[in-house]
Structure 1
Amino acid sequence: MAYRSSLAEHLDPAAARKERGAFFTPPQIASFLTSETILSRDDRVLEPSCGEAEFVLAACGRLRALGHESGQFNKQVFAYELHEASARAATARLERAGFSCVCETGDFLAKEATASFDAVVGNPPYVRFQGVSAKDRLRQRELAQRMGVDLSALSSMWAPFILHACEFLLPGGRLGLVLPAELLTVNYAAPIRSFLLKSFARVSLYTFDVNVFPEVQEEVVLLVAKGYLMDPAEHLEWFQCESLRDLGVKTSLRFTPKEVGARWSEGLASASSRDVLDSLASQGSLSELRCWGSLTLGAVTGANAYFSLSEESAAQFGLVQGRDVIPLCPAGSRHLRRRDLDEGAFRSLSAKGAPTLLFAPSEELSPEALAYISMGEKMQIDKRYKCRKRSPWWRVPLPAVPDAFITYMNSFGPNICANSVSVPHLNSCHGIRFQDGLKDLGTSSLPIAAFNSATLLSAELVGRSYGGGIQKLEPREAAKVMTPSPQIVESIRCQLESMRASFDDYLESGDFETAVSAVDYVVLAQGLGMSEEQIQLVQEEFRRVRERRKNRSRGR
């Protein structure tokens, strides 16, 4: 059975819980959020997705602690739960604890709102947009229109839950919610971020350096918003907690987003380090990566194991390079942890059996290509989603060959790798095509110059943390990573070129820390003219934020 669930697996299978986005909340979190949002024994409280009543139990306990002598809360505490068996288990659990309140089975998003509650608490379901039905999507659009929020069709279920929960709040009401850290980073959450600051007088965030949810690797944040429809909040109160032990103990930091809807993830870094980056950007010393050129997505084959082949596999099927297959940057990014994917590096990959060839037959199909296509159809490769959407199914659309690659799933941080061998890439990395006049500088010097603490800290702030402590950069996020400007890189080009051999050795041996320190000396000190104090600040902040991301994968 699931964490803190009383239901056996056959009554509530893991797959069913995942489909409806049900993840059970640790009692310490429920207790903390109810204490922050329920301030009077007379407060009316709503829990929109109660599961097996962790928040409802905490809410009733909080009301009793505030002086409510009875355990009868039928006119004061209300809960909804989509899953009938969970709703029954919630009611039974409350009865065992001596509490009575309304726990109704039904879809909260389908409930007509009445602004009659002082507090809404809970853990909204985490269902990605792909799992939202057409009926629910229509309902969400209507909700967004009512609330005056431009909610994206890509929004996960927790976003409309916030909006609908606010429809139940009285003026001055309070929210206490467990939310995915997507709130801080993703583009579709920008209208929600703006709505919260505009609609509440005080908005507080609680983030954690370690994973505090037993069932999921997804990072969570706690949101406490107070003073609904009062004066808008001027800033966020941010409590950066190491673990659950810090709840209610840590002192808050003040974070003011740069603009409406701006990402809140920048608040993970100290204000002093952000000031250094902002100052360098305002001087033109640091510029976003998109100032160097455009970022491109890699090719999507729909079946990498079929379309990408090693030289040995191609030979077994009689596929000839230039006729049936073409050179390819293999899937993954470990082989891109280098300054340049040149002929020598590419030959080495091929010799080790890496899939460095892509099935891309010429217009006049050879007998061997026809046989390979027939084999793919027998394997039903043509029935796979991406394949059946194109015609012919076996022709993979290729983007323009990039000048360089940038890794986007990172443990340490992203790096840029020149594409001297001029091969196309798959969607396991992004491509960069440099602007006119910048290709030579970009391919020869930017891969070294961009491996500095300021750029890597910037990547931590614009990217997002995924399960296992991995940093992910979507193309639009990677485009915003702050790198030394072309003018700065040109000014230190000779120094950068002189350290090529040592930089290559550091990356080859996996000694990324030493590589960054060496680049910092050239880029931050000589190129950007940063003081020793500023360099140390940025270096320490990059290490701290990176370690926070990695530590979250190690649990409590």
Structure 2
Amino acid sequence: MNFIANETAQKLRGGYYTPEDLATFLCQWVLEIDPKRVLEPSCGDGVFFSALRGAGAPSTLEVTAMELNDQEAAKSRRRAKEVGLPAAKVHVTDFLSWALEMSGREEATFDAVIGNPPFVRYQYLPEPFQVKAEQVFRSLGLPFTKHTNAWVPFILASMKMLRPGGRLAMVVPAEIIHVMHAQSLRSYLGAECRRLVVIDPEELWFAGTLQGAVLLLAEKRRDEADKAQGLGIYEVRDREFLRMKPAKVFSAPQSINGKTVAGKWTRAILDKETRDLFDELGDHEEVHRFSDVADVNVGIVTGANKFFLVTDEVVAKHGLERWAYPMFGRSEHCPGVIYDTKQHAANAKVGNPTNFLWFQDSEPLRYKKSKAYIEAGEAESLHTRYKCRIRSPWFSVPSVYSTEIGMLKRSHDLPRLILNKAGAYTTDTAYRIRVLNGTSAEKFVACFFNGLTALSAELEGRYYGGGVLELVPSEIEKLVIPLPGKIKAGAKELDKQIRTQTAREALEVNSRIVLGGLGLSHAKQGCVLNGWKRLRDRRHRTTSDEKVEVEAV
């Protein structure tokens, strides 16, 4: 978990400024409609003022800008004068408060919006800003979540102030495409805009951060009769696209509507053949939604994993043997798809924390060594942490049980299920899964590892810095799982493949078994695998022209 005390001042105020060449490109695009009034909701040091003039904006252009930091606002004012935008006004204020106050006024309607909104997590925002963020959602009748980020209400408020036919051009996090907390924004943009284009770069544009960024170009519908075309994603490499006219870039990607715009936008990255095949397979009688064949629940929530998850050495030193139970919770604990006593012993041998301390009552306080261990935890104020302080005693963890299948919350290449033959416990870094409807746990684990489910995970999940894929229970429940009745898929052979081959090689081999069991041709298997590979490579920010060819065996 990230705590505010551990974050830099730059990150806490979202202060990552836009390179001027990108800002100029965005300004060139909005200037195509000859705007008279432009909004910049978070102007920073004024880079978009320079970009506007560099893109050919007239000196008479009226720019209304906001900046919370008074020193940065002063820089913006100076820059506006230096570049020749005398009509620019920089307000030292919170944009969300200003937008709510000005709502409905004629002077708060703009021809264009440009900028780079702050990337700040909701929990890091001061309480007054949190309140304003929620008010923005409510003013538009949109569902609100405290998992949101400052850039989401910034764009919502900006779009509301944009006139019909106006244009919004912003630098936004790449997560706009897939994170759950941006769903309200995606739905709103899909309804309000005639056309949406996301310029998606191969590389990271901001030094010193793992946060990917994209350019969002949105043109608002003129009226109800102005039909929404949908979303297009334009993938770019380096800065080559900057040599093109913005109008050409905006018109280049094919627009996709329907479920692509209504949900996550990841589908728009795939070609039509792959999207159609994915939808076709979703209707196959032997392909199921995860929630129809299995239950998923979070692992054990300790509130202090370093205290409760310990090595054999810690157990022996503090005399904790009677409270120590086997556990796994990291990818290095589970290199295959089977967790058994052999794997558990191997983990313990290299010093991994393979023990979960389950103090079911106050018994450990009666023993000198275990009491000292608990007191050492209190000396580190562990008992004051939220999850610990709401239970009594604080060191007695609730909801402790194991399931026959586990699944790690995050993965590098693709998610996999773990057949838990050791009956080990898992913390909240993993999920506990129970199979329904009589399907064996071993077959479920083996069939889960295939190209269709891997592609489904890329479409349903989200990723963060470093390209790690994460799935929460509500996303796992939507995954599509082939369970062909005619095949005998075994976890033992799959476990060996995953331990000795690359993820892609193992996936190809097992896909031939599982997808072949559905009667899927080798060409269509290759289409599914290439769709997965495209999204996986994009998440990792790697490129490859290599295509997967599935051969008959």
Do both proteins adopt the same fold according to a TM-score greater than 0.5, normalized to the shorter chain?
A: yes
Partner of 2:499: 508
1:130 corresponds to = 123
State the TM-score, normalizing by the size of structure 1: 0.88
- The residue type paired with residue 231 of structure 2 is L
Q: Deviations over 1:410-461 (max 9, x none)?
A: 11111111111112201122221112522xx2x2122222222222121111
Partner of 1:218: 211
Alpha carbons 1:311, 1:355 under 8 Å: kept: yes
Deviations 1:149-198 (A, max 9, x none): 23333321112112211232222211111222332222232221111121
Hey, what does 1:359 align to over in structure 2?
357
Letter in 1 for 2:72: S
Aligned match for 1:240, one of 235, 255, 269 = 235
Q: Output one character per residue of 1:278-302: Cα deviation in whole Å (capped at 9) or x when no partner.
A: 1011123322222221111112222
Residues 406 and 431 of structure 1 are in contact (CA less than 8 Å); yes or no, is this contact kept in structure 2? yes
Displacement of 1:522 in angstroms is: 1.0
Q: Aligned to 1:469, which of 464, 467, 470?
A: 467
Asked if 1 retains the 8 angstrom alpha-carbon contact of 2:53 and 2:84, the reply is no
The answer on whether the counterparts of 1:296 and 1:399 sit within 8 Å (CA) in structure 2 is no
Q: Say whether 1:524 aligns with 2:515.
A: yes
Counterparts of 1:259-408 in structure 2 under 5 Å? 261-321=262-322, 324-329=323-328, 331-363=329-361, 364-365=363-364, 366-367=366-367, 368-408=369-409
Distance in 2 of aligned mates of 1:477 and 1:550? 20
**What is the alpha-carbon distance in structure 1 between the residues aligned to residue 387 and residue 346 of structure 2?**
31
1:202–1:232 Cα contact (<8 Å) kept: no
Alpha-carbon deviations, 1:337-375, whole Å to 9, x = none?
A: 312112222222223322221221243334043232122
Between 504-513 and 334-343, report the one with greater CA deviation.
504-513
Q: How far does residue 476 in structure 1 lie from its aligned partner after superposition?
A: 1.6
Deviation string 1:65-112 (CA, Å, 9 cap, x unpaired) is: xxx3xx354xx1121111111111222233333443222211111112
One-letter amino acid of the structure 1 residue matched with residue 499 of structure 2: E
Describe the superposition over 1:115-166 as per-residue Cα deviations: whole angstroms up to 9, x where unpaired. Answer: 4310011111111111233322332333333323233333211121122112
The answer to whether residue 89 in structure 2 is matched with residue 102 in structure 1 is: yes
Q: Which runs of 5+ in 1 are unaligned?
A: 1-13
Aligned residues: 520
In the alignment, the residues of structure 2 paired with residue 399 and residue 36 of structure 1 have an alpha-carbon distance, to the nearest angstrom, of 56
Counterpart of 1:212 in 2: which secondary structure? coil
Residue 314 of structure 1, CA deviation: 0.5
Return closer, same or farther for 1:41/1:269 CA change in 2, 3 Å cut-off.
closer
Q: Indicate the SS of the match to 2:259.
A: coil
Between the aligned partners of 2:135 and 2:409, the Cα distance in structure 1 is: 36
| Contact 2:325/2:425 (8 A) holds in 1 | no
Deviation at 1:274, TM superposition (A): 1.7
Equivalences for residues 385-534 of structure 1 within 5 A:
385-438=386-439, 441=440, 443-485=441-483, 488=484, 490-493=485-488, 496-497=489-490, 500-525=491-516, 527-534=517-524
User: Does the 8 A contact of 2:40 with 2:114 survive in 1?
Assistant: yes
Aligned equivalent of 1:9: none
- Report the equivalent of 2:15: 22
Q: How big is the shift at 1:311? A: 1.9
Aligned alpha-carbon RMSD (Å): 2.3
Q: Give ranges in structure 2 of 5+ residues lacking alignment.
A: 1-6, 544-553
1:20-41 alpha-carbon deviations (Å, 9 max, x no partner): 2121112222112111222255
Deviation of the 1:492 alpha carbon = 0.5
For 1:346, what is the secondary structure of its paired residue? Answer: helix
* Whole-angstrom distance in 2 between the partners of 1:253 and 1:259: 12
Q: What's the % identity of the aligned pairs?
A: 29
The question of 1:78 aligning with 2:78 is answered no
The 3-state SS of whatever aligns with 2:55 is: helix
Give the direction of change, closer, same or farther, for the CA distance of 1:333–1:342 in structure 2 (3 Å limit).
Answer: same
Q: 1:502 to 1:30 in 2, by over 3 A?
A: same
User: In structure 2, what is the equivalent of residue 544 of structure 1?
Assistant: 534
In the alignment, which residue of structure 2 is the partner of 1:7?
Answer: none
Alpha-carbon distance, 1:49 to partner: 0.1
Structure 1 Cα separation of the partners of residues 235 and 179 of structure 2: 20
Indicate conservation of the 8 Å contact 1:332/1:428, yes or no.
yes
Deviates further, 121-130 or 354-363: 354-363
Structure 1 CA distance, aligned partners of 2:498 and 2:260? 37
C-alpha contact 2:221 2:228 (8 A) present in aligned 1? no
Q: Which residue of 2 is the match for residue 209 of structure 1?
A: 202
Residue 83 to residue 240, structure 1, CA distance change in 2 (3 Å): same
Contact 2:28 2:56 in 1 (8 A): no
Matches of 1:232 and 1:155 in 2, distance apart? 29
Contact 2:229 2:256 in 1 (8 A): no
